[in-house]
Amino acid sequence: MGYYIRVEKGVNVYVEDVNPTGSKTILFIHGWPANHQMFEYQFNQLPAMGYRCIGVDLRGFGKSSKPWESYSYDRMANDIRIVIDTLGLEEITLAGHSMGGAISIRYMALHGGHKVAKLALIGAAAPVFTRRSDYPYGITAEEVNKLIEETYADRPNMLSGFGDIFFARYVTKDFIDWFHGLGLMASGNATAKCLVSLRDEDLRNDLPFIQVPTAILHGKHDKICPFVLGELLHQGISNSVLIPFEYSGHGLFYCEVEKFNQELVRFIG
């Protein structure tokens, strides 16, 4: 079941709702630069186990509206709040991958964890995606700037390069082509504007506001959000558990799909 939710004048976000009668709800927030379809191999399995799986296309991505401005973490966290309230969700598990994990953290701080019972951070681009003078982790701001330049110059080629380091295990050419297509569904401008947010946002002060049980699922071979980011999140979030994926890169939800689904189900209960 798919529908649109108005989050502000002229901006609607697309929501895919699978198994609406499921006993427990997981709200999936995708990473840059994809959309909710990246969780296909969760939506294929988890509803059969009784879970309600809801995927949101963030503004600028997938089937959602693509405004010119407003791609801060605050704005996108506000969008998530409107989705949760519009659907009348209660006691959900909020599951965010990469940039979606960062936005989920901001949601927990900005909205006091409203209606969230558990949090799953999947290869999250947090607590900070880029290096600082007091934070020697992640990629450099210059590397992100290069991605921004490449987005405006040759976005398909940029996405191909990004896809080459996304998965740590062999995937077929057909799968790579499908995954590449998810990125092409986004607005080029939104793709670049979200890179600015990834480069500049700092979530270290948000972590103490997370007061729900939190699972940190992170690939040991992640070349986009290094495993140390998962360790830092574990240190900064009370009542958290770090679940390493020994054979995965950034795409752990596919590299070790069976383990991923099992660990998520075990955590949610």
Please name the residues in contact with 121: beta carbons below 8 A apart, sequence gap of 6 or more. Answer: 96, 101, 104, 105, 214, 215, 216, 217, 218, 230, 233
Task: Output the DSSP codes for 75-138.
Answer: HHHHHHHHHHHHHT--SEEEEEETHHHHHHHHHHHHSTTTTEEEEEEES---SBSB-BTTB--S
- pLDDT tens column, 196-242: 999 999 999 999 999 999 999 999 999 999 999 999 999 999 999 99
The whole-model pTM stands at 0.97
- pLDDT tens column, 66-77: 999 999 999 999
Active site residues: 98, 222, 250
Q: Quick one: which H or E segment has residue 214?
A: strand 214-219
In 3D, which of 227, 44, 198 has the Cα closest to residue 106? 198
CATH number of domain containing 196: 3.40.50.1820
Residue-number span of the structural domain to which 14 is assigned: 2-268
Q: Is there a cis peptide before residue 33, judged by omega within 30 degrees of 0?
A: yes
* Sheet order of strands, 24-29 included: 2-8, 11-18, 51-56, 24-29, 92-97, 116-122, 214-219, 240-245
Total number of domains constituting the chain: 1
- pLDDT tens column, 14-38: 999 999 999 999 999 999 999 999 9
Q: Work out the pLDDT band at 187, boundaries 50, 70, 90.
A: very high
